[in-house]
Amino acid sequence: MHPELFSIGDFTVHTYGFMIMVGALLGFWYAARSFKRDFGVSPDQTQSLALLIILAAFVGGKLFFYFEDPGFYFSSVKNLTKNMGRGFVFYGSLIFAIPTMIWYMRKIKIPVWPGLDHMAITACIVHGMGRMGCFFAGCCYGVPTENFFGVTFTHEHSRAPLNEPLHPTQLYSGGMLFLILLFLWKFRRYKKFDGQLFLLYVTIYAIGRGVIEIYRGDEARGYIIDGVLSHSQFISIFMIIGVLVVYFRLKKKGKLTEVN
C-alpha cells in the first residue's frame, strides 16, 4: 500500500517500522501499568524485560527465518548478514521470547503464570500493529483472488506482486490478533486459573495462523510437505500440542491455581 510513510531529503520513515514502533510503545505502556499495579514492578524493570524480549525475538525470528533455507543462509557470512532488518518468523520470536520472559520474571520475583497472562495481551498489541505494518509494506501477502475484498499493490517498493488482486492476509492476521486481544481483555475477569489467558492466546493464534496460511502467497517461506503443510502450520500443530501437554501436566500436579 504505502511502504514509505514520509521522506525528508535522503531520510525515509518506512511505514512498517513506524507501526512496529507504535505497537511496541503501546505494548510497553500496557505492560508497565499492569505490572506495576498487580506486582509492584518498577517501570525500569519492565523496560529491562522489554529489551530482553526484543533481543530474544530478534534472534529467534531471524534464526527460524534462516532455517527456511539453511543451505543458502549458512553457506556464507554474507548471506547471514544480508538484510538483517528483514526476514523474520514470528514463531521463532515467540519460542525464544517465552523462556526469556519466564527467566526474568523469576529473577525479579513476578509470579510467572499471572505475568504471562499480562504478556499475552501485550503480545497481541505489538503483533497486531506489526501485521498492520506488513500490510503497508506488502510483505506476508496472500494468494491471488477474484473476490471483492482482494487488495492490489501498486507501489514500486511494495514487496507483494504488483497490479494483481491478492488476499490481504496481513489484515486477516491483524484482525485476528485484535479479536484475540478483545477476547482476552473481556475474559480476564472470568479466567479459572492463572496462565489461562496465555494458553488461550497461544492456542487460538496457532489455530487461526494455520487457517490463514492457506491463503498466504509468499511461497518463499517454504513447506514441510510441498503445497500441503507450510513451516508455520507445522509449528502451529506443535504449539497446540505443547499447550495441551503443559495444561494436563499442570492439572495432574495440581498447579492450576484457582483465581478467586
pLDDT in tens, 172-182: 999 999 999 99
Within 13 Å and on the Cβ side, how many CA atoms surround 239? Answer: 25
Quote the Cα angle for 248-254-256, to 5°. 70
Closest CA to 100 of 50, 43, 63, 142: 50
Domain that holds residue 226: 4-252
Give per-residue pLDDT as tens, 41-95: 999 999 999 999 999 999 998 888 887 777 777 777 776 776 665 667 888 999 9
Q: What is the pLDDT of residue 183?
A: 97
Tell me how far apart the alpha carbons of residues 216 and 209 are, in angstroms, rounded to a whole number: 10
In a domain, 260, yes or no: no
Closest CA to 91 of 194, 230, 246, 247: 230
Residues in the chain with pLDDT values less than 70: 1, 79, 82-87, 219-221, 253-260
Q: What is the pLDDT of residue 258?
A: 60
In a domain, 259, yes or no: no
Query: Are 216 and 168 spatial neighbours (Cβ–Cβ below 8 Å)?
Result: no
Tell me how far apart the alpha carbons of residues 138 and 182 are, in angstroms, rounded to a whole number: 26
Q: List beta partners, residue 162.
A: 153
Tell me how far apart the alpha carbons of residues 58 and 96 are, in angstroms, rounded to a whole number: 9
Q: In the numeric block, which cell numbers belong to residue 110?
A: 513476578
Q: What is the pLDDT of residue 70?
A: 74
Q: What is the pLDDT of residue 155?
A: 86
> 3-state DSSP call for residue 101?
helix
Closest CA to 12 of 161, 157, 170: 157
Q: What is the pLDDT of residue 257?
A: 64
Q: What is the pLDDT of residue 249?
A: 84
In a domain, 236, yes or no: yes
In a domain, 258, yes or no: no
Question: What predicted TM-score, i.e. pTM, was given to this entire model?
Answer: 0.89
> 3-state DSSP call for residue 41?
coil
Q: How many residues does the chain have?
A: 260
Number of domains in the chain: 1
In a domain, 257, yes or no: no
Question: What is the chain's percent helix, strand, coil content, to nearest 5?
Answer: 65, 10, 25
Q: List beta partners, residue 13.
A: 6
> 3-state DSSP call for residue 151?
strand
In a domain, 74, yes or no: yes
